[in-house]
Structure 1
Amino acid sequence: MSQTAHIPSHRKPRRSASKLAFRAGVAGGVLSTIAVAGAAAPANAEPVTEKTLEMPTLGSLDADLASAVSASAEASQQEALDQSLAAQENAALQKAAKDAKKAKAEADRKAEAEKAEKARAEARERASRTAARTSLSGTSSFSASDSGSSSSSQVATGSAAAIVAFAKAQIGDAYISGGTGPNSWDCSGLVQAAYAQAGIDLPRISYDQSSLGTSVSLSDLQPGDVLYWGSRSGSYHVAIYVGGGKYVGAQNPSTGVVERDLDWDPPSGAVRIL
């Protein structure tokens, strides 16, 4: 190729003058239209402003989540507390019902025991009345041979009858040291209570009781006399002579209150207080 050969240019060809003029005219028309529209717009028209949608920030989301978690925890805690209180109330009601049932059973047991004791007391009272009638009818009279005396038969009357009837009514009761009734006695407690039926107040101790009244021979006993074992001023046991050669006394824990013949355990002496 020769040095003078034509080499094509790589630059973009220039637009023609006619195209440039056309584009300039179009642009000028657009600008003119905008200007006319702006002149025709009302003077008090508010400028158009752009509104941007505000999106929640990460911090606000964390706060809302924390608040929701806290509310849920409080609700769970309150529910647990309510359940605990309900369980406690239920347990208290069950315990109250159990205690009431137990108290009723105990009250019923006591009522039955009182009823039985009342029946026994009524039985003793009937026995006492029967013994009194028997004594007054003469079946408790004793002869000279019964008591070892040469005196004629005698019947317990008046105060002696009341003392004898009471003593016999206690036969079968228990012996308890220091007992003064109504269902358990010791020897001097029974004698003291029997004499109280006749309105006579005796000392509580056996040797004080045997120190009262007048000494009488065992061959000259009368119903109501106080028998003693030991010395008169130092007796360790007392009983009541009930006639027919017998006496009633609170002997010991194994026998309780019994009626015995004089020869079963002969007394040391006797005193007459009536």
Structure 2
Amino acid sequence: MSHTAHIPSHRKPRQSASKTALRAGVAGGVLSTIAVAGAAGPAQAEPVTQTIEMPTITAGLSTSVAASAQATQAVALEFETQAHEDAAAETAAKAAKKAKAEAVRKAEAKKKAEAAAKAEAEAAERASRSAERTTLSASSDSSSSSSSASSFSAPSSSNATGSAAAVIAFAQSQIGDAYVSGGTGPNSWDCSGLVQAAFGSVNIDLPRVSQSQSTAGTQVSLDNLQPGDILYWGGAGSAYHVGIYVGGGQFVGAQNSSTGVVQASLDYDPPSGAVRVL
């Protein structure tokens, strides 16, 4: 016996042939499968379809959208109303401005007319006083009664006809009425107010003040006067007194606050010029 016979062997025990064959077959199958898969190439991925579920509008959301629409409509209506109000306010402001300007214009025109009438009255008063002083001086050698008779006379008939006769008749019917600055009748007059009313009685519209009346018709010579002509004292366009020629060298006029409306001789206060309207 060998001296090593009693030492156990460390080699693995041999496997049986059947187990070895089984392991070889399994390994071969696995390798064949890997080879076939590698030859076939990478596998194609199948498309993935994803379904998204849309949210459902609830009743609360519908109510919110409707309320928002109503609010937008209300804001739009408010803006439209405000625009109409602004336009109306602008129109009213323009109308008020225009009315104010017209009122100011009328007030200024009235003020000018009153100033002109006042100036006319003052000028007539001064002219009358001057004329009276001249008359008194010229008649100092005669009696007072004779002087009075030559200055003023009762209404006398004239050869006027038609509209001229009507104008003269109206003027003479006012003799004895008071003189009042700015007076236009029926019982008190200033000089231009009487002339305007006399011609108005035959539907002839004359300007209100003596300055304008002195240029209202055709200028005529004092040597060629006809009944119904308008006499003026001062310059044409700047006259301070007017009267109506009644014929026979006499006129009717609202002279001053002392005499009122009188009929007098041209010699009492010779006029500067005359215009013919009729």
TM superposition score category, shorter chain reference: 0.3 to 0.5
Greater relative CO, 1 or 2 (CA 8 Å, sep 6+): 2
TM-score by length of 2: 0.44
